[in-house]
Structure 1
Amino acid sequence: MSKTIFNLRIWFVAIILLIASSAKVNADNSSENTKTPKYIFFFIGDGMGLSQANTAEAYLGALNKSNGIKRLNFTTLPNQGFYTTYASDRFITGSAAAGTALSSGEKTSISTIGMDAKRQKPLKSVAEVAKEKGYKVGIVTSVSIDHATPASFYAHQPTRNMYYDISLDLSKSGFNYFAGGGFKHPEGDGKIDENNTMANFGMGADQKLAKKKPNSLEVAKARGYTIINTLDDFKALQKGDDKIISIAPRLAGGKSLPYSIDQDEKTDISLEDFTRKGIELLDNKKGFFMMIEAGKIDWACHANDAATVIKEVLQLDKAVSAALEFYKKHPKETLILIGGDHETGGMALGFSGSHYQSAFSLLQNQNLSYEKFAQLVKEYRESTKQPDVNYGLELVKKHFGLGNEEKNLKLNEFELQQLKDAFEKSMIYEYKMSKDDQFYLLYGSYDPFTVTACHILSQKAGIGWTSFSHTASPIPIRSIGVGAEQFTGFFDNTDVSKRLKKLLE
């Protein structure tokens, strides 16, 4: 009997080992047999976590008079996963460290672009690997083209604030297509202030230069690039045009595209337009890699401006739709990824004051971004010596709907007092952020009257905010196409680039 039991145990162990070995072989073969995608789209929603996309879906659902959601194109993709975002030296990451992790497959320190955590060694990005493999490469963004996330795919600099050196790296890369915002500091950075984070969100004036350096746009021309900055020249671009830097004809703060909510369809170029043009220019027999960043989701989340966030997410979805149209023509050769670098604002589909109620359709009453509204407040402050709070309340009513009973946006006494207090602070001085300021938790780094209006409308819609900064929430990634199964499950942000590079190899 004991010998029989012993033999059974031997057979049992052998079967387990055989199954494990077979599973490993199958897994290895699955990875090895995955074709290399010929066309790769990597969309990054800067600041976009699960809530930002879901809020946009809830908003669309509410407009259709539903208590549910209306799905976005990119949330319906068949392969879904999540990844962690922490940097090497901080749990809550920043765009430079997160962008570098997504582009290179290695962790780095806060504010570092395309280099290791000690800022000593350059890290090769997946875009650079693609170029070496013969792919054409495109980098598209709604913020300045030398901003942290796009820079992580072509630059190698100790800090994201070295915009001038980053712009030189841009033309040194030899990539085929750059599009979106302009160059922040094409003639030099001046004194670099690592603590001036608001300049990275398109706020605040740039420093004057004591001595100008060679204009980096002119350097790019000397390296063979063509600079496009008019709508007509953009439309004239056609297949075969190469080494293009296409800058939007109208730029907002921080040399970025205007927010989608502020754009004019007849005169502005959208993220979707830049994406479609990229497909046209980059399509070739050897394939292409294109990174497309919706960078101003992050900026609007920093300002806790829910309506503007939604419009930026919807604009990203339109850009994704362009890629999906291409995918339908090349389903066996194309990979599409949609992720984010981190979540911003701690956006929540629920607010303590609204209990279980939501009214997302109220957000349609906002007709401009916080940026444009803050400019109106500034112009009024500078044009009058005796500010009238009633003028401010009418301004809020006109652009946010707040105070309009017919639109179900009646203000209660507490909300009205919040606006009056904030208006008084906005009229006394141009508000400057200090994290030690007693009002920081109310207004963050923003104009008090503007951010208060954004908060009240968010709250009435049933949306809460926990921060004016980033959070450490894991980020969803959606995918379809060749190799998309490699991006399911729960993993780290560095694994995205590692798996992309493996597919390319």
Structure 2
Amino acid sequence: MVRRTTMVAAAGALALGGLAIGSAVQAVSPGFTDDRSANLSSAINSEKPRNVILLIGDGTDDSIITAARNYELGAKGRFALDELPFTGAMTTFGLKTGPNPDDYPINYVSDSAPTASGWSTGKKTVDSRISQGPSASDTTPGTDYDTVLEKYKLQGKRTGNVSTAEITDATPAAAGAHINLRACQGPADMANCTAAKKSNNGKGSIAEQLVDNKIDVLLGGGKQRYTQATDAGPTVLDYAKSDKLKYNVVENKDALDSVKTLDNGPILGLFTSGNMTPRYQPLVATAAGAGGPDTTCQTANRGTQPSLADMTDKAIKLLDNDKGFFLQVESAMIDKQEHASDICGAIGDVVELDSALKVAQAYQAKHPDTLIIVTGDHAHSTQIVGNGAGTTEGATGATGGKATTTLKTFDGDPMTVAYSTAPPNAPGASTSQSHTGSQIRVAASGPQAANVTGTIDQTDLFATMLGRTPSKVATPATPPTPAAPSARPALAVVADKKISAKALKTKGLRVSTSASAATSVKITLLKGSKVLATRNLGSAGGTAYLRARGSVKGAVKVVVTATGPGGSTSKTRSSAVTR
């Protein structure tokens, strides 16, 4: 049964009047023109959510969001995550171990374990600790704290946990496991978590705990943790598939696509041995400066792995039921590629996060009692810096950073990013950039989404996701003025003007769109009257890569149609396919 609630379109859609996307940008504001008070007021819903979808960009702060936006959409573009109606700032500090349980020291720069534990349990803890309280030392266990996922499981709701990292990594682990150190991912990794070993009457490794918690949908990497032998003898994978737990294991996109129901048991998707492959090939910053004004990110070969949007879509379809569900989705490689000073890898997973959000929004549109929250776990080291050209300093090179990379953005202009929390990688060596302690963005839509506004702490998300006691929302004394007739969608389109036949089959023709006043955007690739490929995007458009099967040569046509309450707008672009 679906509750009756009010859904409105996200406020602040991009105004495209007079905007030249992909070329020299005209001197106009990218902002909105009408007062948004009525839209924001009508988006407030104080009821408790029936479903909760929490989307996490690991290491995602405003700096990497801005870099990804500039590259993918241009400075005046907007991701779906930029257009959620309620946005706030979120603090991420943690604690340090110590002898005094009444006064643990503050840790201003935390790792993913205590930050993910913060929203999962509503309580602060120490670095490397998974949903377990602080203690005197790293190897001394703390008190286990119940998580949102576990509480919803007890209520009879279905639960899901999706990540592009190993599913036993810190962020997904915090949703459904309790252990003193995040490194204790599999039975063979328990040297510093001996009290948690099952042979010592503990709960076992993270891999064991996640399946013991009978999470309905577990999808990600990390098969290597599940092929380890348990204290009892069989591997964790065999244990998961046993009659006790009855997990169905899938290991590629086709196998995941074939799953239609949870009636035969929960789903465990293990698509790689370790972390899943980022969207883009690496581009690593160097002391001399990598990349250049014409450098672009190249699509990586992810083989049979599903995308984050694929996994999110399948998880939602399997979890959907009358009682409701909780789903955590992590775009993990943002953080991991920032550690590696790899700007393309990090940008690609911001795009993956936004694509997963669009999947969640499509479900929310039909199920308005669904709360969607998008945030990160902590800030990171990527900074956008001056590249010398046109700066007031008159410099000839990058204006800061121990290691830098320059990319050509969607606007056609160079953007330089810098990393300064660690030295650049030396030949044959590897260094890791560090987290930072800045507050980060949090945004939401749906029931109780207004609770993310202002400056909150990530522990505040715990009560919001479980559903706070509803407050009474005042009704305006004067009804708002009736809205003017809906305008036709505004649409901007840029497509690659030339592509090789091989690239068209493997990488795809890049088409970037931006729309306002639309509910959907459709891209069609044509050769004459023959349809080669189609893609459906969300209301704001975005960037898509259209691949054509078979041999194609000569002129092709891209038709983009934005449809909304006021009608539809179409634009056509031509491209040449070469040998």
Residue from 335, 353, 375 that aligns with 1:298:
335
SS at structure 1 position matched to 2:149: helix
Instruction: Map 1:349-388; keep pairs closer than 5 Å.
Output: 349-351=384-386, 353=388, 356=391
Residue from 178, 191, 194 that aligns with 2:218:
178
- The 8 Å contact of residues 228 and 244 in structure 1, kept in 2 or not, is answered as yes
1:218 equivalent in alignment to 2:238? yes
The CA distance in 2 between the partners of 1:230 and 1:440, in whole Å, is: 37
SS at structure 2 position matched to 1:472: coil
1:495 equivalent in alignment to 2:460? yes
- The 8 Å contact of residues 333 and 345 in structure 2, kept in 1 or not, is answered as no
SS at structure 1 position matched to 2:95: coil
Question: Shift in Å at residue 450 of structure 1?
Answer: 9.7
Cα displacement string for residues 315-351 of structure 1 (whole angstroms, at most 9, x for unaligned residues): 11101100011111112x1110001000122x22223
| TM-aligned CA distance change 1:237 to 1:187, over 3 Å | closer
| TM-aligned CA distance change 1:120 to 1:240, over 3 Å | closer
1:342 equivalent in alignment to 2:342? no
**Could you tell me which residue of structure 1 aligns to residue 95 of structure 2?**
88
- The 8 Å contact of residues 146 and 183 in structure 1, kept in 2 or not, is answered as no
Compute the TM-score of the two structures, normalised by the length of structure 2: 0.57
| TM-aligned CA distance change 1:35 to 1:441, over 3 Å | closer
| TM-aligned CA distance change 1:189 to 1:475, over 3 Å | farther
Residue from 53, 56, 63 that aligns with 2:65:
53
- The 8 Å contact of residues 94 and 470 in structure 1, kept in 2 or not, is answered as yes
- The 8 Å contact of residues 108 and 115 in structure 1, kept in 2 or not, is answered as yes
| Gap runs ≥5 in structure 2 | 1-44, 97-106, 136-140, 187-204, 282-299, 393-404, 415-419, 471-579
| TM-aligned CA distance change 1:51 to 1:132, over 3 Å | same
Q: How much is the aligned-residue C-alpha RMSD, in angstroms?
A: 3.1
Instruction: Map 1:32-181; keep pairs closer than 5 Å.
Output: 34-62=46-74, 68-89=75-96, 90-118=107-135, 119-164=141-186, 165-181=205-221
The CA distance in 2 between the partners of 1:468 and 1:80, in whole Å, is: 28
The CA distance in 2 between the partners of 1:80 and 1:113, in whole Å, is: 27
Runs of 4+ that moved beyond 4 A:
187-190, 352-355, 449-452
Question: Shift in Å at residue 441 of structure 1?
Answer: 4.2
Q: Which amino acid aligns with 2:174?
A: S
Question: Shift in Å at residue 308 of structure 1?
Answer: 1.6
Greater helix proportion: 1
SS at structure 1 position matched to 2:383: coil
| TM-aligned CA distance change 1:96 to 1:79, over 3 Å | same
Question: Shift in Å at residue 50 of structure 1?
Answer: 0.8
SS at structure 2 position matched to 1:323: helix
**Could you tell me which residue of structure 2 aligns to residue 287 of structure 1?**
324
The CA distance in 2 between the partners of 1:441 and 1:99, in whole Å, is: 24
Higher relative contact order (CA 8 A, sep 6+): 1
Residue from 452, 461, 471 that aligns with 2:436:
471
Question: Shift in Å at residue 58 of structure 1?
Answer: 1.2
Q: Which amino acid aligns with 1:75?
A: D
- The 8 Å contact of residues 163 and 189 in structure 1, kept in 2 or not, is answered as no
Q: Which amino acid aligns with 2:79?
A: L
| TM-aligned CA distance change 1:126 to 1:440, over 3 Å | closer
Instruction: Map 1:309-458; keep pairs closer than 5 Å.
Output: 309-331=346-368, 333-345=369-381, 347-351=382-386, 353=388, 356=391, 441-443=422-424, 446=425, 448=427
Greater strand proportion: 2
SS at structure 2 position matched to 1:470: coil
Compute the TM-score of the two structures, normalised by the length of structure 1: 0.65
Residue from 254, 257, 260 that aligns with 2:279:
260
Cα displacement string for residues 40-87 of structure 1 (whole angstroms, at most 9, x for unaligned residues): 10001000001111111111344xxxxx33100111000001111111
The CA distance in 2 between the partners of 1:140 and 1:408, in whole Å, is: 35
| TM-aligned CA distance change 1:448 to 1:213, over 3 Å | farther
What count of residue pairs does the alignment treat as equivalent?
Answer: 353
The CA distance in 2 between the partners of 1:408 and 1:105, in whole Å, is: 43
Question: Shift in Å at residue 356 of structure 1?
Answer: 3.3
Question: Shift in Å at residue 291 of structure 1?
Answer: 0.1
SS at structure 2 position matched to 1:96: helix
- The 8 Å contact of residues 421 and 433 in structure 2, kept in 1 or not, is answered as no
Question: Shift in Å at residue 161 of structure 1?
Answer: 0.8
The CA distance in 2 between the partners of 1:325 and 1:451, in whole Å, is: 41
- The 8 Å contact of residues 304 and 451 in structure 1, kept in 2 or not, is answered as no
State which drifts further: 112-121 or 290-299: 112-121
The CA distance in 2 between the partners of 1:502 and 1:328, in whole Å, is: 20
- The 8 Å contact of residues 44 and 292 in structure 1, kept in 2 or not, is answered as yes
- The 8 Å contact of residues 129 and 181 in structure 2, kept in 1 or not, is answered as yes
Question: Shift in Å at residue 235 of structure 1?
Answer: 1.3
The CA distance in 2 between the partners of 1:69 and 1:329, in whole Å, is: 30
| TM-aligned CA distance change 1:498 to 1:450, over 3 Å | same
Among all aligned residue pairs of Structure 1 and Structure 2, give the percentage whose two residues are the same amino acid: 29
Question: Shift in Å at residue 502 of structure 1?
Answer: 3.8
